[in-house]
Structures are given as C-alpha cells and as structure tokens.
Amino acid sequence: MSNFADLEGLIWYNGNMVPWREADVHVLTHGLHYASCVFEGERVYEGEIFKLTEHSARLVHSADVLDFEIPYSVAEIDQACRDVVKANDITDGYVRPVAWRGSEMMGVSAQSNRINLAIAVWEWPSYFAPEERLRGIRLQISKWRRPDPMTAPTDSKAAGLYMICTLSKHKAEKDGYQDALMLDWRGQVAEATGANIFFSKDGVLHTPTPDCFLDGITRRTVMDLARKRGIEIVERAIMPEEMAEFEECFLTGTAAEVTPVREIGPYSFTPGQICKDLIGDYDAVVRRKNTAAAA
C-alpha cells in the first residue's frame, strides 16, 4: 500500500467531498495532542458496508463518552459513508470514519473546539495474509494490559486506547509473531490488539466478558452465527493458564474477520471444524451468499 497521505480519491470531510491529499488537519489539533479522537473501522463487501448503522451508532456513543457531540446524526453518518464508498467506486474495501476536536483551543480544556468528522475508504484485502489465516496465526503475550474502566474510557473506540496496542503489535512483529494477546489489569485474558478472542473446548465456545474492552460488532455477529449452529457460548473471566486446556482459538474483528490462531506464547491450538464453520458462515453473511443466515 502506498503512503496513506498520498492516495488518489475523495474523502468526506465535514460535509464535503475533498480531494484525498487536501484532507488535512492542523498540527495543533486537540485530537493529536490530547487524544480527543474516536473512530470506526468498517468493511465494504460487494459495495455494501456491513453492519453500517451499528458502527455509526458506536461512533456517536464513543464521542459521547469522550464528552463531545458529533454534529451529524447516525442516519447522516450512514449516508456519508455510503456516499464516499460510491464516490471512490469501492466494491470491497475498508471504511474509516473519524471524529476529533479541532485546534480552536490548545490545552487540556477544549470546550470551544470544533468537532470534525471525516470518512475515508480504500481497497483493503484480508488483514492477515491468506496463507497465514488458513493455518492459524501466532500471538505473543503482551506486557501491556487493558486498563481498568475507572482509569480510561474503555467503553469507547477512542484513539488513545490504541497506543498500547501499537506497542504490543510492534513488539510481537519484531519477535516473529503476527499479533499479541493482551491481558487486562486483573491478569485475565482480554483481547488481541484489534480483535476479540474465542476459545473452544469440547464443542463449547469460551470468550472473555467484555467489561474493559469493546464488545465488538463482529464478535456479536459471530456469536449469533455460533448459536444458530447450536454451539454453546460461555462469556466469563479466563485466566492465561486455562489456555492450555483449549482446543481451538480464533480472533474476530472487522479487519480480522474470523482468523484462527495456532499459538499464543507457550500455548498451542489446532484450527478445526468450529473455526472452519464460522469462517464460512461469516463469509456467507457478509457477502450475502446465504440470505437465511443473514436474517
């Protein structure tokens, strides 16, 4: 992929379609200095954005958690996302709505700052290389932990919360892994750097309770698909040592979709029938191959 600042196309920016290279912000924007910025990640399949309204509603919610109001309704954000996909003639790609406080005030206080909203879209294949996805990826266990909800706005998709994800993923990639597993402040299994995590044992799925990280839209979709197959799902606290007992493991996320995992630190997993079935079910839903499954 070329430098993202130097792509061709249009970006929806505060109500207007702006040439890609002209969609700039000032160096003193509050969102850059104080992380007063929220965003979403959405997939386009066959020209349609999957679960668009859920993503737009979460963007508005995240802004509310960070004490600012996006000056567009959920319906208006939905339409802007559709418009920018159409304007860029994207069939299969990735959508990035982002909202942030501007540069009118510089300091911790930012009550008078303009709230900006931009939406970009670009072609984007699978988050992980196809051959890696099929055989399962390897995760390192990060030293960084998801924070206590009393110390950070964990019920938001806020830019600042991803700093430790970048640090974790960089370390993992440097050491030959594809991603990292993050524990929470209590030492319990939480999530990967940008995806939720599931484990299977004796045909039952186990997944951490999302009380300090996002209950992902893809996570909920995959849980619905699993239930349709009659698979029991247990949401609970999971300690790291329990990973020795699990058989299969996979990640879920807008970018990751359903990605099997074969290794997390000292623990090994074998991608099997549950992973294969849910990969197929998810692909059928997002690409509308099975109308009944998508209902």
Alpha-carbon torsion, ordered 156, 160, 164, 167, to 10 deg: 130
Q: What is the largest CA-CA distance in the chain?
A: 57
Give the helix, strand, coil percentages of the chain, each rounded to 5.
Answer: 35, 30, 40
CB-facing half-sphere around the CA of 194: CA atoms within 13 A: 21
Catalytic entry in 157, 169, 174, 228: 157
CB 109 within 8 A of CB 142: no
Q: Is 174 a catalytic residue?
A: no
Return d(Cα 225, Cα 283) in angstroms, integer.
11
CB-facing half-sphere around the CA of 96: CA atoms within 13 A: 12
Among the residues of 105-263, which ranges form H helices?
Answer: 130-135, 163-174, 217-228
By annotation, the residues acting in catalysis are: 157
